[in-house]
Amino acid sequence: MKFNYWALTFVFWLAIFSSCNRAEGDKNTPHDSSRDSLPFSFRDKFYGVSSSDPQNIWMVGHLGKVFHSSDGGMRWEHQITNVQEPLFEVDFVDSHNGWAVGNLGLILHTSDGGKTWKRQVFETDKQLYGVDFVDEDTGWAVGYYGIIINTIDGGSSWQDQSIVEDIALNGVSFVDQNTGWVVGEFATIMHTKDAGKHWEKQETGLGEGITLFGVHFSNSLEGLAVGMDGTIIRTTDGGVHWANQKTGVAQNLFSVKAKKKFGITVGASGTILITHDGGTEWKHLVSSSFRTYNWLTCLDIIGNGHVIVAGGHGTMLRLRKEDFNISLRSPENRG
């Protein structure tokens, strides 16, 4: 028999290559390292949230971070501020103009919906905890050591309206260009009727040990303030009388907002309380699908009645108006 060495050559190399291919077949599936679609980290802390309309929402927080959503809170993008200091509050009057305040007297302003943020200057090293603008020109910011500052030109210049007492002021709410309230340590509520030229203290009936963290007035008469140990106080006469509301919770409450008869407040250990009667009766918002224990520090009722709540550990919750079922938007959901 004549041996075909060309055939042997072909068969030999075929065998070699096919053995190598078999080895390839056992290759492992690559490690999936895809991230959750939300850009928040477990380390993020959010301190302020503000919406200009049902779609456009901004959140600010630790290390100068600003996030913006243009679809009502479903997707978020990181906006560059070029600051590392924490931002404690944000307020937008329309989809273009907004202000954020923070550590060491930091004031940032945007006139293009947050694409660019520029510093505004008021010489102070005190923390600014609250900011509220009634239009694109007029606004107030409050903070540590009783600081209150005001602008009537969109922040190009700021005037000092600070109170003399050494009180940390945590929240501010104005209903028009003249009428507003600030809240802070020692159950302090200060009220102005003349755009901050004069501030007068209002009696809350609370003990001095209570610090108030948040305040919101829907109009010149109806207002809510929240604070330590589950404190909620309510007024229907512009603050002449404040009534302590029973909440049944001991957690600190940090922020409150109201729209008509609906009100909502958030606080420590994932506390969320809602009211449907303007603030007389408050109930825990309980969802069978979700419970957070994270600190919740800020919220805003966006135009369509939905609510955005945010806080520690990168928590952002989007609460729907229809049934107040919570769509979880927190890093806790990450796989």
Partner 1 sequence: MSWSHKIAKYVIDHRFTILLGTIFITLFLGWQIRRLEMYTNFDDLLPQEHPYVKVHNQFRDLFGGANVVQLVVMVKEGDIYNPNTLTKIQRLTNTIQKIPGVNYNQLFSISHRKIKNLQASSWGIQAKSIMWPNIPTTKAEMKKLKDVIYGDETVYGILVSRDGKAALISATFLEERINFKGIFKDINEMCDKEQDSNTIIYRTGEPMLYGWIYHYFGQMVFISVITVFIMLSLLFFYFRSFLFMLIPITAGIISCIWGTGFAGLIGSNFDPLILVIPFLITARAISHSVQMLERYTEEFDQLQDVKKASIASLAGLFPPGLLGVITDGAGILIIAIIPIPIMQKLAYICGFWAFSVIFSAVFLNNMLLSYLSNPVKAHEIKKTLLEKALKHLGLWTIGRGRWVNLGILVLLIGVLSIFTTKKLTIGDAHPGSPLLWPDSVYNMSADIVNKNFPGTDELSIVVEGKKPKTMYSSEVLKKMEEFQFYLEESSDVGGTLSLADVVSKINMKVNEDNLKWAVIPATTEAIAQLFWVYTNGGDPGDFDRYVDYNNQYSNIIAFFKDHRGDTIRNAIKRAKDFIAQNQLKDAKFELAGGLIGILAAVNEVVATFSEQVRILIFVTIFLFCAITYRSFVAGFILTFSVALADFISVAVMAYKDIGLNINTLPVASVGVGIGIDYALYVVSRIKEEFAITRDIGSAIVIGISTSGKAVTFTATTLIGGIIMWYFVSSVRFQAEMGFLLSLLMFFNMLGAIIVVPTLISIFKPTFITR
The residues, ordered by sequence, that sit 6+ positions from 40 with a Cβ below 8 Å of its Cβ are 67, 76, 314, 316, 330, 331
Q: Taking Cα atoms as reference points, which of 184, 302, 317, 181 lies closest to residue 239?
A: 181
Contact with partner 1 (CB under 8 A): which of 2, 18, 28, 289? 28
Q: Which residues pair with 26 in a beta bridge?
A: none
Find the binding residues for partner 1 in span 299-328 (CB under 8 A). 311-313
Task: Pinpoint the alpha helices (H) of 112-217.
Answer: none
Assess 125 for contact with partner 1 (CB under 8 A).
Answer: yes
The residues, ordered by sequence, that sit 6+ positions from 1 with a Cβ below 8 Å of its Cβ are none
Q: Which is nearer to partner 1, 148 or 228 (CB)?
A: 228
Q: Taking Cα atoms as reference points, which of 264, 255, 280 lies closest to residue 324?
A: 264
Contact with partner 1 (CB under 8 A): which of 289, 322, 323, 335? 335
Contact with partner 1 (CB under 8 A): which of 2, 18, 24, 164? 24
Between β-strands 272-275 and 262-267, what pairing exists: parallel, antiparallel or unpaired? antiparallel
Minimum CB distance to partner 1, residue 293 (Å): 3
Minimum CB distance to partner 1, residue 289 (Å): 13
Assess 2 for contact with partner 1 (CB under 8 A).
Answer: no
Contact with partner 1 (CB under 8 A): which of 2, 23, 248, 288? 23
Q: Which helix (H) or strand (E) holds 10?
A: helix 5-24
Q: Which is nearer to partner 1, 39 or 303 (CB)?
A: 39
Main-chain phi, psi angles of 269, to 5 degrees: 55, 35
Question: Going edge to edge, which strands form the sheet with 212-217?
Answer: 212-217, 223-227, 231-235, 243-245
Which two three-digit tokens encode residue 246?
Answer: 């029973």
Assess 295 for contact with partner 1 (CB under 8 A).
Answer: yes
Q: Which is nearer to partner 1, 224 or 266 (CB)?
A: 266
Contact flags string 212-251 toward partner 1, x per CB under 8 A: -x--------------x----------------------x
Per CB under 8 A, residues contacting partner 1 are 3, 5-6, 8-9, 12-13, 16, 20, 23-24, 26-28, 31, 33-35, 41-43, 45, 47, 62-63, 84, 86, 88, 103-104, 125, 129, 170, 211, 213, 228, 251-252, 254, 268-270, 293-295, 297, 311-313, 332, 335
